[in-house]
Amino acid sequence: MYSPQRKDFVSLTLGDQHSHNYTNGKHRRQSCWRKWKQLSRLQRSLILFLLAFLFICGILSYPSLTEQWRGLTDRSLKEDWVEMDNQGLRPIPPGFVPKLPPGVVPGVQDIPPEVMPEIQRPSIPLLPKPPAMRKPPSKRGPPALQKRGKVSDWQVKDGEEATIKRDEDGGKEAKTLISWRGAMIEAEQGTELQSTAHEKEGTVADAEDSANLKPVKAVDRVEAVREAFRHAWKGYKAFAWGHDELKPISKTHGEWFGLGLTLIDALDTMWILGLKDEFAEAKKWVETELSFSKNVDVNLFESTIRVLGGLLSTYHLTEDTLFLDKAKDIGSRLMPAFKTPSKIPYSDVNIGKGTAHPPRWTTDSTVAEVTSIQLEFRELSRLTKDPQYQVLYFFIIVNVHGLEGKRDGLVPMFINTNSGKFTRRGAFTLGARADSYYEYLLKQWLQGGKKETELLEDYLQAIEGVRKNLLRQTSPSKLTFVGELSNGRLNPKMDHLVCFLPGTLALGAHNGLPADHMELALQLMETCHQMYAQMETGLSPEIAHFNLQSSNGRDIDVKPADRHNLLRPETVESLLYMYRFTNDSKYRDWGWDILQNFNKYTRVPSGGYTSIGNVRDPLNPAPRDKMESFFLGETLKYLFLLFSDDNELISLDKYVFNTEAHPLPIWPSTLSGRSPELS
Ligand code: DMJ
């Protein structure tokens, strides 16, 4: 239906055929003709001449009249526009087709202004051309493996690097938009950071392209991570302060447990990055606002690794007992999860009521969840000298150590809270639901001073189980990957989550485990890198499918449902280990590529980064409007440490990272090993 005001039609009034007016007109025309006939020939000629003269004058003056008329029309439209603008309204004149600034992808104008108002404002600055790059992202991708150059080799042509301008007061920076990627996101950082970095670092010449391009200066990668963190924090602070997650596009927040997950996850990252002001305001929130006395169900695993782990590591870094007190509080409130017949914990705990329960649909818990909380609770026992936490958690490990249903050290994905036994046996993966079981075997062994041999045995056996059952190579490029086993059949798919494995294998080899663990780490690291490099956005999908016999010349396929990227950390986590243990700068370059692509495809102009729905479409990566807490807790922290030249900053010989990237100290030798009760 049309609204009453809307009149998109022309009104015609037809005369009545019986109307008297019609007959009267005919009579009038007949009498005019009679009068014309009665005029003399001279009179008729004079009248005709006069009419012809007027007609010619009219034709000659037509263009200027038209222009004047046009000017009047335009001016009134503009005046209307300004007037409406002053009132905060933006009318669209009838028939107006907005022109897109150069570089804007068609379709952007379709985005509703409430979703991305920046795009539609007429005042948006014109977009300068993006800086010339030696390896433009559009060239990335299938079918051949990408042998990618260093991103530090980005070339900035003359006149294109001034993306940070001072405003007239010389104070605040006025940022210029560089380019749009897809519908809702902006690449504002890449060049901007180069400019920032240019002021700081020396010049390095690029031999290959020096004929065509000016020398560029090395980018300060560490500063780039700080800048990315600040940008993410800006969004969190503005739209989600004290809440669990930022929804950066809708400029609001998401709640999971209502515990300020992003803020707590990010505490130690801010400390490590040296962001003192940000840390101080977050600490104040913990001091004055954070309360665990809440009638809320939380997931035992997630709140242990993010909240307990985050508070413990922040306590270690700062030695501020505020964080230890809060850690004790949440730790004790999670204990009811263990009130089960088997002592295998339930997945969910109400931290206010002190009750726990499994998910509604099952009495099973996932193996990764119940076996990846020990690093944190063991540390809590050590710090508080209260053995209750460690006893319960150690029980799980002992129990799983002797449990039936493993296959060459590989564990099924579920364990029952009543029987304490594996269920739904027959499926084995290093991905979701099992991943951190393997990670924590090694890391507990390291945390405890390499004394708990059952942990080491289980770890070594599991890695052999991976080799024997899950390891394959792709066609045509012979990438090594870890598949999944389902009832004896190998499914050649690998979660991005599995990319923690190269780093863990390297950590083991660094600590004296077999050298072939390092060889496997090198191969798997290459595969994880290719999961990024072969995608059009340079960002990995959530799940990759590998070709064993390629018919299309590609090693990696991605199913439509698996094309998302959640800003996950596992690959950059492994890159940190690989760089620290090999000193090979290619790992830093791979990490830098990833950061650049996060900036290109996931950065939201008003603050924050968003997970995306399609890593294969650089024009529309389909932002999902969510910044996971682990982006600040893990991804940016690992990137910062990867680029930092200070290997003593969270030394891998002094700390183990929990599975949420919170560093916990390796116990000093005098204190190492089991707690007194277990020794
Ligand atoms: C994090 O919460 C942890 O790293 C966990 O072990 C796996 N999933 C996310 C990150 O991807």
Fill in the amino acid letter for 376: E
pLDDT tens-digit readout, 552-611: 899 999 999 999 999 999 999 999 999 999 999 999 999 999 999 999 999 999 999 999
Q: Is the pTM of this model over 0.75?
A: no
C-alpha to C-alpha distance for 56 and 145, rounded to whole angstroms: 74
Measured in angstroms, how far is the CA atom of residue 497 from the centroid of ligand 1?
A: 7
Residue numbering of the annotated binding site: 659
What pLDDT is attached to residue 355? 97
Q: What is the pLDDT of residues 165-210, one digit of tens each?
A: 333 333 333 333 322 222 234 443 433 343 333 333 322 233 334 4
Alpha carbon distance 139, 190 (integer Å)? 18
One-character DSSP codes across 402-458 = T-TT-BTTB--SEEETTT-SEESTTEE-SSTTTHHHHHHHHHHHHHTTS--HHHHHH
User: Which residue, among 432, 439, 617, 452, has the nearest Cα to 542 in the 3D structure?
Assistant: 432
Q: For ligand 1, atom 11, which residue shows the shortest CA distance?
A: 568
Is the CB–ligand 1 distance for residue 568 below 6 Å?
yes
Give the pLDDT score at 1.
Answer: 31
177 CA distance to ligand 1 middle (Å) = 33
3-state secondary structure 252-293: EEECCCCCCHHHHHHHHHHHHHCCHHHHHHHHHHHHHCCCCC
Residue numbers in the chain where pLDDT is lower than 70: 1-33, 57-218, 670-679
Query: Does the C-beta of 659 come closer than 6 Å to ligand 1?
Result: yes
The finding on whether 630 has its CB within 6 A of some atom of ligand 1 is: yes
Label residue 423 exposed, middle or buried (CB < 10 Å: 0-12, 13-18, 19+): middle
Q: Please tell me the distance between residue 416's alpha carbon and the centre of ligand 1 in angstroms.
A: 22
Strands 185-187 and 179-181: antiparallel
Maximum pairwise Cα distance, the chain: 136
Give catalytic residues, as residue numbers.
Answer: 302, 435, 542, 570
Atom of ligand 1 nearest to the CA of 568: 11
Buried-exposed string 490-505: b where 16+ CB fall within 10 A, e elsewhere: eebbbbbbbbbbbbbb
Q: How many Cβ atoms from other residues are within 10 Å of residue 540's Cβ?
A: 26
Task: Give the residue ranges of the annotated binding site for Ca(2+).
Answer: 659
Please check whether residue 471 is in contact with residue 546, taking contact to mean a CB–CB distance below 8 angstroms: no
CA distances (Å), origin 559, targets 167, 474, 564, 623? 47, 17, 10, 18
Regarding the beta carbon of 436 and ligand 1, being less than 6 Å apart is answered yes
CB 373 within 8 A of CB 305: yes
Whole-number Å distance between alpha carbons of 244 and 330: 16
Q: 483 CB under 6 A from ligand 1?
A: no
pLDDT of residue 118: 30
